[in-house]
């Protein structure tokens, strides 16, 4: 959120950042050492302290677990929603409510009771707001991370936003289906890779020639067990799936892997793979040189600037975890530009 605010072109000062995750706070402080950082839960901050801040804007990303498609979807009953509900309770009580609010959450939040409570409070407090679902692909980044966003403004003027999802017809589906994917999934990937408005993966790869990439290669046991369900992309691809906090530890649905070899053909390797011995299957799979994206590369795909850095003592596993819990900086920056700029006011 802070990097997005810096990039949006509107002069602003972050008066305080609040989070309870110690690793996230360590990384935040490393990048923004002069910004006050409160390592506490939101509900532990009394109304008086909020009033002292005299804030003009709240940028927030409440815990998403109560709303994720793979979770229990306990919504407002989930204890992790308490902090968000506390903010909603405080909003009408503030001596000077913020003029701007931007909220980010996962797909699924838009159907929640928490969202309904949010909209009710915003309406009662005189906010105009817009809700939308946006993925980084809409701003040319080859990564799918569809998220719910709400922009709200206290004003007699409403908001106008020119944000839309793009669809289009792609090339016809190839006749040969490899791996455990449907024809529709293969066609969708081909459409994404043919979209010239999206930048290729290679522009987001780490240029450090001294970087030891062998540590990111998939282990033999991972290749043998999960090869059919891997989402494999190439440097020339214009797509990748959402990176989650389990990337690097788990395989299914946690993010794409990169084929480093430019000589091996993915389809040729997978064709009839199960007919071979385990030793031969491993040999063929290893010719692809499949590896995880490095944390820096994941950060690049999530729009973090080159100035962003991890403290040296943060392990790779934790880097993946905080990135998986983060958001796309470029998307949020563009939304903040709309929210905070007077030229985007509209009735």
Catalytic residues: 64
| CA 234 to the chain's CA centroid | 20
In angstroms, rounded to a whole number, what is the distance separating the alpha carbons of residues 43 and 81?
11
Query: 210-242 b/e with 16+ CB inside 10 Å = b?
Result: eeeeeebbbeeebbeeebeebbbbbeebbbbbb
Identify the residue whose tokens are 């609040």. Answer: 18
DSSP characters for 107-148? TTGGGSHHHHHHHHHHHHTTEEEEEEEE-GGGGT-S----EE
In angstroms, rounded to a whole number, what is the distance separating the alpha carbons of residues 195 and 204?
17
> Rg of the Cα trace of the chain?
22
Q: Check: CB of residue 153 under 8 Å from CB of residue 127.
A: yes
DSSP characters for 92-118? GG-SS--SEEEEEEETTGGGSHHHHHH
Residue 101 — left, alpha, or beta (φ > 0 → left; ψ -120 to 50 → alpha)? beta
DSSP 321: H
| CA 331 to the chain's CA centroid | 10
- The length of the chain, given as a count of residues: 347
Nearest to 298 by CA among 324, 331, 330: 324
Q: Is 295 helix (H, G, I), strand (E, B) or coil?
A: helix
Q: How many Cβ atoms from other residues are within 10 Å of residue 49's Cβ?
A: 11
């Amino acid at each position: 959120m802070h990097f997005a605010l810096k990039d949006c072109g509107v002069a602003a000062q972050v008066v305080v950042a609040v989070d309870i995750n110690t690793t996230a706070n360590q990384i935040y402080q490393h990048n923004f050492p002069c910004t006050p950082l409160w390592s506490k839960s939101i509900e532990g901050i009394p109304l008086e302290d909020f009033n002292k801040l005299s804030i003009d804007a709240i940028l927030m990303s409440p815990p998403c677990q109560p709303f994720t498609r793979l979770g229990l979807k306990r919504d407002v009953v989930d204890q992790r929603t308490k902090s968000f509900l506390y903010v909603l309770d405080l909003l009408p009580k503030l001596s000077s409510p913020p003029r701007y609010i931007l909220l980010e959450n996962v797909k699924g939040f838009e159907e929640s009771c928490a969202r309904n409570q949010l909209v009710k409070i915003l309406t009662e407090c005189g906010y105009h707001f817009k809700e939308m679902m946006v993925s980084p692909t809409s701003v040319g980044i080859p990564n799918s991370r569809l998220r719910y966003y709400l922009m709200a403004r206290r004003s007699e003027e409403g908001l106008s936003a020119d944000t839309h999802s793009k669809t289009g017809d792609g090339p016809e589906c190839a006749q040969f289906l490899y791996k455990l994917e449907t024809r529709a999934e293969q066609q969708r990937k081909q459409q994404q890779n043919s979209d010239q408005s999206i930048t290729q993966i290679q522009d987001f790869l780490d240029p450090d020639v001294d970087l030891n990439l062998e540590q990111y290669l998939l282990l033999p046991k991972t290749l043998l067990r999960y090869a059919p369900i891997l989402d494999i992309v190439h440097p020339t691809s214009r797509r990748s799936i959402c990176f989650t906090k389990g990337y690097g530890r788990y395989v299914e649905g946690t993010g794409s892997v990169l084929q480093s070899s430019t000589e091996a053909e993915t389809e040729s390797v997978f064709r009839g793979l199960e007919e071979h011995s385990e030793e031969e299957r491993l040999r063929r799979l290893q010719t692809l040189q499949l590896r995880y994206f490095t944390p820096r590369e994941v950060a690049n795909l999530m729009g973090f600037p080159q100035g962003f850095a991890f403290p040296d003592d943060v392990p790779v596993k934790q880097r993946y975890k905080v990135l998986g819990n983060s958001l796309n900086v470029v998307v949020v920056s563009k939304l903040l530009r709309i929210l905070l700029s007077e030229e985007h006011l509209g009735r």
